[in-house]
Amino acid sequence: METNTKPIEGAERSLNFIEEIIEKHLADGGGAIQTRFPPEPNGYLHIGHAKSICLNFGLAARYGGKCNLRFDDTNPVKEDVEYVDSIKDDIKWLGFDWALERYASDYFEQLYDWAVQLIRTGKAYVDDQTQEQIRATRGTITQAGIDSPWRGRSVEENLDLFARMRAGEFPDGAKVLRARIDMGHSNMLFRDPILYRILHTSHHRTGDAWCIYPMYDYAHGQSDSIERITHSICTLEFAVHRPLYDWFIQELGIFPSHQYEFARLNLTYTIMSKRKLLQLVQEGVVNGWDDPRMPTISGMRRRGYTPASIRAFAERVGVAKRDNVIDLGLLEFSVREDLNRVAQRRMAVVNPLKVVIINFENVPRGTGFFENSAFDGRTEMIRCVNNPEDENAGTREVPLSREIYIERTDFMEEPPKGFHRLKPGGEVRLRYAYLIKCEEVIKNEAGEITELRCTYDPESAGGNSSDGRRVKGVIHWVSIPHAVKGEARLYSTLFNKENPEECEEGETFLSHINPESLTMSEIFMEPALSEAAVGEKFQFERIGYFSKDSDSTSERPIFNRTVTLKDSWAKQQK
Ligand code: ATP
Ligand code: MG
């Protein structure tokens, strides 16, 4: 499969440092570029991975190269096919396609042969020390490590022991294969790094064929080299590994892949370690990897984020050389921007207050009777625009009747100055329909407002009023007898601390869980929404963007609030 070649967003901005490197590579006759995205299948992908995906696949697309998907499956203990499948789904959903699908485990035989080659040239040896002993003798930044007593083994003995490690003669932890480099090296990673450990564990692809598994540092660069990766792009914490990456390639005399590091994505109010995300799932803090509060791609998909919005976000974040933290508001801004373009508008009321339009006579089966409804009072069909941002989105008809719900917050009995919505004696426009005037406020014994009695001006349809008067407030509404009742799931951040990892003594990141990250609410929707498909996205006018959730049933549609309409990020930029 070819990498998709559609241009990515933002092609007009100046080059980032990796693009500069690539353009120089191309200008110097370096040939077509080859990148890869190398997830470890030990969890679901998150927005940080999305950044890396957009970068690796995006660069290949922009420069006519290819990008492989390579699963870094060298640790059978934590890996699973469930994760492999979800990772593939997520990449495709984001809009990318890989040239080759590869697994580090495809290369186990080759990696083994190269280890034998290193033993032969005296660059690797079998060590009988325990992992603890190895750790304890590594030294410190200021102090050299101590040579292993097994460092001087002969090539023959090492070849024999390594073959027997592979054959399964030794239990887990009994021996490791180490590179023989320099126990006094200033880069700690060069102090005889471990290349192979014994793990009698079934692997999700190779089964029980292997009981020794290569370490990341040994497997990664060589896998890149096998795939002739020209630009191996990873996050900054691997910068210190780069000399070792180069060392193996040099010692083995294989294709010279090069590693380049960029700053990982960090987001406010967000945790981005798979290990911690797994903990949230396992401890039931969230309802699975695709919980709409999770920063996973599957969670964001379920919440209603679009692939285009995530790609645009990645483009906006850019590629930095220094670590930084991005405002979650920038992601929401990108989501809002895309949904504003593509989402149809609907009316729904989350916090209902009943309004009776007293002069809207309830003559049965009047003109414009709404055919599909059991309601046989007078219904008038109101023509509403589906998306003012998109002429092609057309219009729809929404039934209006004598009894409607409006948002409780759109009425105030004693409003402050500047309140343009409904108040006693005041007038407001029902979106796309008539002006109504509040004539009477009905309360229960507890003094709570239960109903408003209003009149409407029959001459005021479509933005006109009989005497030309204008009102500032426009509110949304839903006809009660036609309303579809459902559930709205309103989300806020999963953590109530900007940096959830910042902990006082005795705290963990779990101490900062926001107890109000999910609130559920009844919602009354215009009837068109009964036909919505799971995953379909709408703007509920004046409330926010919503996406129909997969938990919906035919009796009870459920909508996730993807993002509110309020744009705090854009305001900050002014
Ligand atoms: P985590 O720490 O969340 O478990 P990881 O780095 O172990 O992430 P991998 O599956 O090894 O996860 O990552 C695959 C690729 O995604 C790597 O190239 C890695 O550098 C990149 N990546 C992971 N997290 C981020 C992030 N926050 N920002 C940018 N790239 C990331
Ligand atoms: Mg990793």
Contact partners, residue 484, CB within 8 Å, separation at least 6: 524, 525, 526, 527, 529, 530, 557
Which residues face 127 on adjacent strands?
A: 176
Return the beta strands (E) in 236-364 as ranges.
258-262, 344-346, 348-349, 352-357
Contacts 24+ apart (CB under 8 A), 138-144: 138/183, 138/188, 138/191, 139/183, 139/184, 139/188, 139/191, 141/188, 144/183, 144/184
Residue 278 CA to ligand 1 center (angstroms) comes to: 14
pTM of the model: 0.92
- How far is it, in rounded angstroms, from Cα 175 to Cα 178? 10
The pLDDT of residue 264 is 96
pLDDT at 1 over 60: no
CA distance linking residue 188 with residue 190, whole number of Å: 5
Average pLDDT for 133-148 = 96
**34: three-class secondary structure by DSSP:** strand
Q: For ligand 1, atom 13, name the residue with the nearest CA.
A: 39
**Range of lowest pLDDT (26-40, 115-129, 359-373, 375-389):** 359-373
Per-residue confidence (pLDDT) for residue 472, from 0 to 100: 86
Closest Cα partner for 231 from 30, 51, 15, 95? 30
Strand partners, 124: 179
Which of the residues 9, 19, 40, 337 is marked catalytic? Answer: 40
CATH topology of domain 344-483: Ribosomal Protein L25; Chain P (2.40.240)
Please write the tens of the pLDDT for every residue from 92-107.
999 999 999 999 999 9
Please pick, among 274, 302, 303, 346, the residue that the annotation labels catalytic.
274
- Tell me which H or E stretch contains 385: strand 380-385
Is 439 strand, coil or helix? strand
Residue 364 is predicted with a pLDDT of 56
Which residues of 88-165 form beta strands (DSSP E)?
A: 101-103, 124-127
Of the pLDDT bands very low, low, confident and very high (cuts 50, 70, 90), residue 541 is very high
Provide the pLDDT for residue 464: 73
Ligand nearest to the CA of 53: 1
23 given a catalytic annotation: no
- Mean of the per-residue pLDDT values of the chain: 93
Residue 152 scores a pLDDT above 90: yes
Closest residue by Cα to residue 352 from 504, 475, 268: 475
Q: Which atom of ligand 1 is nearest to the CA of 53?
A: 16
- pLDDT category of residue 57 using cuts at 50, 70 and 90: very high
Residues 437/426, Cβ–Cβ less than 8 Å: yes
Task: Assess whether 276 carries a catalytic annotation.
Answer: no
Could you check whether 121-214 and 344-483 share the same CATH topology?
Answer: no
Q: Which residue has the tokens 């692997």?
A: 203
Q: Is the pLDDT of residue 4 over 50?
A: no
Q: What is the DSSP string of 73-106?
A: ---TTT--HHHHHHHHHHHHHHT---S-EEEGGG
Counting ligand 1 atoms within 8 A of each CB, the residue from 36, 44, 49 with the most, and so the one to mutate, is: 49
Instruction: Provide CATH code, domain 1-99+216-267+304-342.
Output: 3.40.50.620
Site to substitute for ligand 1 among 235, 262, 324, most atoms within 8 A of C-beta: 235
Cα 79 to middle of ligand 2, angstroms? 12
Q: Specify the pLDDT at position 13.
A: 79
The number of the ligand 1 atom at minimal distance from the alpha carbon of 272 is: 3
Beta bridge partners of 69: 37, 101
Distance CA 331, CA 305 (A): 10
- List pLDDT tens digits, range 503-525: 999 999 999 999 999 999 999 99
Mean pLDDT across 69-83: 94
121-214: CATH topology: Glutamyl-tRNA Synthetase; domain 3 (3.90.800)
Domain map of the chain by residue range? 1-99+216-267+304-342, 121-214, 344-483
Ligand 1 atom closest to the CA of 238, numbered from 1: 20
- Six-digit token string for 507: 């705290």
The one catalytic residue among 123, 153, 178, 264 = 264
Task: Encode 33-57: b = buried (16+ Cβ within 10 Å), e = exposed.
Answer: bbbbbbbbbbbbbbbbbbbbbbbbb
Query: How far apart are the C-alpha atoms of 485 and 30, rounded to whole Å?
Result: 62
Q: How many CA atoms lie within 13 A of 95 on its CB side?
A: 17
**Ligand 1 centroid – CA 280 distance (Å):** 18
* 389 belongs to the catalytic site: no
Task: Say which DSSP state 294 is in.
Answer: S
Q: How many residues does the chain have?
A: 574
